[in-house]
Amino acid sequence: MIDAHCHSLTRDWTHVDAPAGPSWRRCFTEGDDPRVLAEVPALLGYRRFLAALADRLDAPRDEAALVSARDALARADPAGYLRRLLTDAGVERLLVDTGFDGPAALPLPDLARLAGLPVDEIVRIESVAEAVLRDGVDAARFADAVEERLEAAVAGGAVGFKSVAAYRVGLSLPAPSPGEARRAIDRLDRAAHGRRLADPVVVALVVWRAVAVAARHRLPLQFHTGFGDPDVTLPTADPALLTPLLRDRRAEGCPVVLLHCYPYVREAAYLAATYPDTYLDLSLTLPLAAPGAARLVAEALAMCPATRLIAASDGHSYPEMHWWGAVVWRRALSDALDREVAGLDPAAAVAVAAGVLGGNARRLHRLERSPAERGTLDA
Amino acid sequence: MIDAHCHSLTRDWTHVDAPAGPSWRRCFTEGDDPRVLAEVPALLGYRRFLAALADRLDAPRDEAALVSARDALARADPAGYLRRLLTDAGVERLLVDTGFDGPAALPLPDLARLAGLPVDEIVRIESVAEAVLRDGVDAARFADAVEERLEAAVAGGAVGFKSVAAYRVGLSLPAPSPGEARRAIDRLDRAAHGRRLADPVVVALVVWRAVAVAARHRLPLQFHTGFGDPDVTLPTADPALLTPLLRDRRAEGCPVVLLHCYPYVREAAYLAATYPDTYLDLSLTLPLAAPGAARLVAEALAMCPATRLIAASDGHSYPEMHWWGAVVWRRALSDALDREVAGLDPAAAVAVAAGVLGGNARRLHRLERSPAERGTLDA
Amino acid sequence: MIDAHCHSLTRDWTHVDAPAGPSWRRCFTEGDDPRVLAEVPALLGYRRFLAALADRLDAPRDEAALVSARDALARADPAGYLRRLLTDAGVERLLVDTGFDGPAALPLPDLARLAGLPVDEIVRIESVAEAVLRDGVDAARFADAVEERLEAAVAGGAVGFKSVAAYRVGLSLPAPSPGEARRAIDRLDRAAHGRRLADPVVVALVVWRAVAVAARHRLPLQFHTGFGDPDVTLPTADPALLTPLLRDRRAEGCPVVLLHCYPYVREAAYLAATYPDTYLDLSLTLPLAAPGAARLVAEALAMCPATRLIAASDGHSYPEMHWWGAVVWRRALSDALDREVAGLDPAAAVAVAAGVLGGNARRLHRLERSPAERGTLDA
């Protein structure tokens, strides 16, 4: 499996035990309130996770006892424990969005060394734009400066881009005219937007520049869609709002990945079935809705080609999340394909699973190429 | 089971037989047209209901014959028949929204006496506002007058509030500024709104005052969401539109219950998983979509903590509706929990079911307290 | 089975084999890009189709080999092959939307002769309006001219109307005032709209005139809803946006059919359960989401009366599409009804299936009447 959308570990990932409950609880909800975290043990999906991890580690299922056993293992041999989980999950490569967690996150070279696996970078475009604003730039130069940094990221080996427009301004992202763009940049409170860019016109401008760079190199642009942040108001994050962009000739050649998608899985599968170069992963959806995972994967595969579905964990902070995402994906996919005996012989079912778990991402992110060649097109 | 959202019986509930078909048919559709009522027998869920009730009463499954048998039983011994149904359903307490059915409804003390069960009141806030308008009030005093009545309701033992903003103005409910509120009240046609308040600003004003009262006493505010009235236009009743309210610091401490939710069950489950003090019941959804009930409960429990899901029947008019809601809930919950053997041992599954069927509502509505103490906070 | 929403065959339907893959692939996606067509073999539903057709024709499952065998059969005896498929599917009548495919489509009399079945016409109202514009009409006369042509269609035996407003302007269709209508027609670029009418006010005007004609004759107006065209942006095609029209007294007597509905199946089922004279078919949804068909039919029947659900294939171009739509419908319906043993005895289940597969459409489209009598009301 290639984990096509995940995040790095926190630097102190070997330590999960905490007075208010294990710190991995925050990976099982999008809420950030202590009262929400206190109710994570009442999630049926979390109960499944505890049971599955306890079985794997040969540890007790009780949360506190499991956490003790896990912390002991992780601290005794961090690399060994991490590799044990990744091997068990069959993960062989990680594509990591680096726009999350800031300085607390393990740098990618450290992660790669520790995991003993290739680790590639997905660049969050709003973070790049915020860095440009923080560094100071003339309004007239802003968009070009963003584009230059995105180009530099490709030259440096990045395997794709990601946008979080969904929870900044929603997914209605008409390409601004040059005049609109200039006026929007002029009225930006740059200091504030250096921290958190949330102007609809400027975000759309950044997205369309990223589309241009992505199309130039045939590297994908991932969009956060649906749930996944307490800031999001769901209807504005419906992936179907991206339809005008997917249809737009100016986006021709830019592969788009619809991340997460919950609750709009059916919508996303329709888009992936209808527009070229459109993919969906259900990354955060599967571990957070684990008891419904088989149904959600089946809904996706009922509508979109198996070549358009991509597995990912959205794991972050603790390696159990990467492991759990992979475990849930494998089980759900196996369940969905088991029902397809009428149309798929066993060899064909294995080929479909291999594509969803890795082949599709390998092709889409051009992973077979060396970093220096990744962004170059064939003549 | 605590039936956490239901309505009273009609005064003539012992009589269901009627020339155009049994009068309980109107409990199986949100439509009010005679042609819609005539097609209720073609609902698979209604067929399930007839079969289940016939088995329970040892009566024929044929609609007319069953109604005859039922009417004979109900009239021979109203209290006995009512208690037989409630006992069979395991219902031990009713939380009744009194804003429905007007003078045709049995008053709560009569209902409690007849049922032999504690009955508590949920106060519909739009009905309170309409009463204030009917009684005549100075525009400048309107909001305070509403708040005073809501306070009086708490002092009188009410266990929560309910809003029907969804089918009056939709669930986009920004808190109006004092100036907006005053202008909106000034332009109200008060005579008309004494009958049916449907001004977006005034409804939002009433909601936010209710939020304040509810937060002060830690009593929940229920919102009708999704389907449930021929007046509703679904997308404006998507519970996700309440996200800004759920995130708003001014709503801190006000527990919110998302009622019904169909078809937005996944959206509601996400909200309950993400924001503190946010709950969902699926009350009307389960009896009206009984053949899909197991799937809908499974969708909710795939995403939200079991501590955030609350069972209710939305039963009204006839006690068979309270019975059927409870029967469908028990079956659907049992089906959903049966699939969780991987993460739940039998004792844990029973604890989850006990919470959904009663414990969650008991805690949320502070039912362990006496009416006099319910609205007081611990120091 | 009555196929209540389908299209004609292409004139060259006996020939499916083509250099870039069999031409029926375009019936399995709403996309029109060659890259999308190239991925149709990766659709699990397409694999199911190939397997089922191969079994039926006693041919190999491999796509190329199956297409060869099929083309040989179809060309050796076109009428025989067509009738074999329709007989196998149990199709006994076709209701054909003639607003699709233009001159490449087989005229209805030819189709009826070839199939040996009655074939009736559904008239696409936007095509009628475009013809009126192409023929030249005074702005003041436009709406009356449209209405006259719709009346003429009824007199000529049409069994219903269809609107594609969903992917022209969306399903928010307030009835324009006479002044708004006149101004909208005045500003039309008539030459352009003779090709493709996409003005929101003019489309709404055409819809409301069609509603009037349909109500006058009690013939249904079908609305494309949900997915089904690369032009559609899903949220604007949510059938729930038709709620104001369904509630409007001016639409009284006009039966409405919600076509396709994906992903808004639950929404459509609610509308059909709530408003009189409102129906849903899932026509395009079932063959395009065949692996999820049983679940989608179950979702519909969980909420709407069995008298409000209508089977159709949305088949077009190749008769295998009409066959496949019928096959998927039968399987999905059988699966959904099998779960209803608690409420339906076998005879009742057969009656439900007979209604969904034919009886409901027969009644709705007044098919028992002769064409001359169809549009006349009983005294």
Write the pLDDT tens digit of every residue in B103-113: 899 999 999 99
3-state secondary structure of C209: helix
* Stretch among A101-115, A117-131, C61-75, C306-320 having the lowest mean pLDDT: A101-115
- The pLDDT tens digits for C8-52 are 999 999 999 999 999 999 999 999 899 999 999 999 999 999 999
Does the beta carbon of B213 lie under 8 angstroms from any beta carbon of chain C?
Answer: no
Please give the residue that has the higher pLDDT: either B295 or C187: B295
More confidently predicted of B128 and B340: B128
Residue-wise pLDDT for A201-216, tens only, equals: 999 999 999 999 999 9
How far is the first Cα of chain B from the last one, in angstroms, to the nearest whole number? 31
Taking CA–CA distances from C352, the nearest residue in chain B reads B42
Q: Does A173 touch chain B (CB under 8 A)?
A: no
Q: Are B256 and B288 in contact (CB under 8 A)?
A: no
Cβ pair B273:A45 closer than 8 A:
no
Half-sphere exposure at residue A297, Cβ-oriented, CA atoms within 13 angstroms:
32
CB–CB contact C348 B47 (8 Å)? yes
Q: Kindly indicate the confidence band of residue C101, based on its pLDDT and cuts at 50, 70 and 90.
A: low
| A interface test, pick of B262, B303, B333, B352 with most A CB neighbours within 10 Å | B303
Spell out the residues 6+ positions from residue A219 whose beta carbon is closer than 8 angstroms to its own. Answer: A154, A158, A159, A160, A161, A255, A365, A366, A374, A375
**Residues in contact with B204: Cβ distance below 8 Å, sequence separation at least 6, in sequence order:** B165, B169, B173, B174, B175, B176
Contacts of B244 in chain A (CB under 8 A): 233
E-strand ranges in C7-100 read: 93-97
User: Quick one: pLDDT band at residue B101, thresholds 50, 70, 90?
Assistant: low
A153 lies within 8 A of chain B by CB: no
C343, B44: Cβ pair inside 8 Å? yes
Q: Residue C72 has what pLDDT?
A: 98
C-alpha B158/C-alpha B127 separation (Å) is 14
Size of interface B-C (CB pairs under 8 A): 96
Residues of B in contact with A46 (CB under 8 A): 343
Question: Between chains, do A44 and B276 touch, taking CB under 8 Å as contact?
Answer: no
Percent of chain C with pLDDT over 90: 87
| Helix segments in B77-141, DSSP class H | 78-89, 108-115, 125-135
Higher confidence at residue A246 or residue C136?
A: A246
First to last CA, chain C: 31
Q: Which residues of C touch B230 (CB under 8 A)?
A: 247, 274-275
> Chain A contact for C45, CB < 8 A?
yes
What ipTM was reported for this prediction? Answer: 0.95
Residue B286 Cα to chain centre, angstroms: 12
Q: ∠ CA C181-C187-C188 to the nearest 5 degrees?
A: 90
Best of A303, A333, A363 to substitute, by most chain C Cβ atoms within 10 angstroms, is A303
Residue C29 phi/psi, 5-degree rounding, is -150, 150
DSSP collapsed to 3 states, chain A: CEEEEECCEECCCCCCCCCCCCHHHHHHCCCCCHHHHHCHHHCHHHHHHHHHHHHHHCCCCCHHHHHHHHHHHHHHCHHHHHHHHHHHHCCCEEEEECCCCHHHECCHHHHHHHHCCCEEEEEEHHHHHHHHHHHCCCHHHHHHHHHHHHHHHHHCCCCEEEECHHHHCCCCCCCCCHHHHHHHHHHCCHHHHHHCCCCHHHHHHHHHHHHHHHHHHCCCEEEEECCCCCCCCHHHHCHHHHHHHHHCHHHCCCCEEEEECCCCHHHHHHHHHHCCCEEEECCCHHHHCHHHHHHHHHHHHHHCCHHHEECCCCCCECHHHHHHHHHHHHHHHHHHHHCCCCCCCHHHHHHHHHHHHHHHHHHHCCCCCCHHHHCCCCC
Q: With contact defined as beta carbons under 8 Å apart, do B188 and B209 qualify?
A: no
Question: Are C83 and C317 within 8 A, CB to CB?
Answer: no
| Closest alpha carbon to C313 in C299, C301, C327, C300 | C327
- Using the Cβ of A172 and the Cβ atoms of chain C, whether some distance falls under 8 Å is answered with no
So what's the pLDDT on residue A378? 63
Give the total residue count for chain B: 379
Q: Give the span between the Cα atoms of C38 and C36, in whole angstroms.
A: 5
What is the β-pairing status of strands C278-281 and C309-310? Answer: parallel
Residues of A in contact with B296 (CB under 8 A): none
Longest dimension (CA), chain C: 63
Binned at pLDDT 50, 70 and 90, residue B347 comes out as: very high
Instruction: Residue B243: list chain A partners with CB under 8 A.
Output: 232-234
Q: What is the pLDDT of residues C125-134, one digit of tens each?
A: 999 999 999 9
Residue C259 parent element (H or E): strand C256-260
Cα R_g (chain C), whole angstroms:
20
Check residue A229 and give its pLDDT: 83
Q: Strands, E, within B176-237: which ranges?
A: 221-225
- The nearest CA of chain A is from the CA of C371 a distance in Å of 39
Gap between the Cα atoms of C313 and B289, Å rounded:
26
Closest-approach residue (CA) in chain C for B49? C343
Per-residue pLDDT band at C378 (split at 50, 70, 90): low
CA distances from B217 to A132, B162, B331, C357 (A): 48, 15, 34, 56
Contact B297, B282 (CB under 8 A): yes
CB-CB contact of A307 with A276 (8 Å): no
Which among A267, A306, A342 is the nearest to C263, CB-wise? A267
Percentage of residues in chain A having pLDDT higher than 70: 99
CB A129 within 8 A of CB A197: yes
Burial tier of B378 (Cβ tally within 10 Å: 0-12, 13-18, 19+):
exposed
Token pair listed for A268? 């996303």
H/E stretch holding C69 reads helix C63-76
Structure tokens belonging to residue A300? 């996706």
The verdict on a CB contact (< 8 Å) between B342 and A44 is no
The answer to whether the Cβ–Cβ distance between B31 and C343 falls below 8 Å is no
A262 close to B (CB below 8 A): yes
Tokens found for residue C271: 């509308």
Identify all chain B residues contacting A268, using CB atoms and an 8 Å cutoff.
Answer: none
Give CA separation, A327 vs A115, A281, B185, C288, in Å. 18, 15, 57, 29
pLDDT band at C231 (very low <50, low <70, confident <90, very high): confident
Looking at beta carbons, which residues of chain C come within 8 Å of B233? 240-241, 243-244
Per-residue pLDDT at A10: 96
- A274 and A250 Cβ atoms separated by less than 8 Å: no
CB C155 within 8 A of CB C194: no
Distance of alpha carbon A137 from alpha carbon A115, whole angstroms: 38
Distance from CA of B295 to the nearest CA of C (A): 9
Contacts of B344 in chain A (CB under 8 A): 44, 47
Phi, psi of C119 (to 5 degrees): -130, 125
Report the pLDDT value the prediction gives residue C228, as an integer from 0 to 100: 87
Residue B220 confidence class, pLDDT cut points 50, 70, 90 = very high
Q: Do the beta carbons of residue C40 and residue C54 sit within 8 Å?
A: no
User: Nearest chain A Cα to C292, which residue?
Assistant: A302
List the single residue in B50, B230, B263 with the smallest CB-CB distance to C343. B50
What would the mean pLDDT of C167-184 be, rounded to a whole number? 94
| Residue in B240, B302, B303 closest to A235 by CB | B240
**Residue A58 above 80 pLDDT?**
yes
Give whichever of A133-142, A218-227, B368-377 has the largest mean pLDDT.
Answer: A218-227
User: What are the chain B neighbours of C306 within 8 Å (beta carbons)?
Assistant: 42-44
C-alpha separations of A73 from A14, A16, C113 in Å: 9, 11, 77
Confidence of residue A101 (pLDDT cuts 50, 70, 90): low
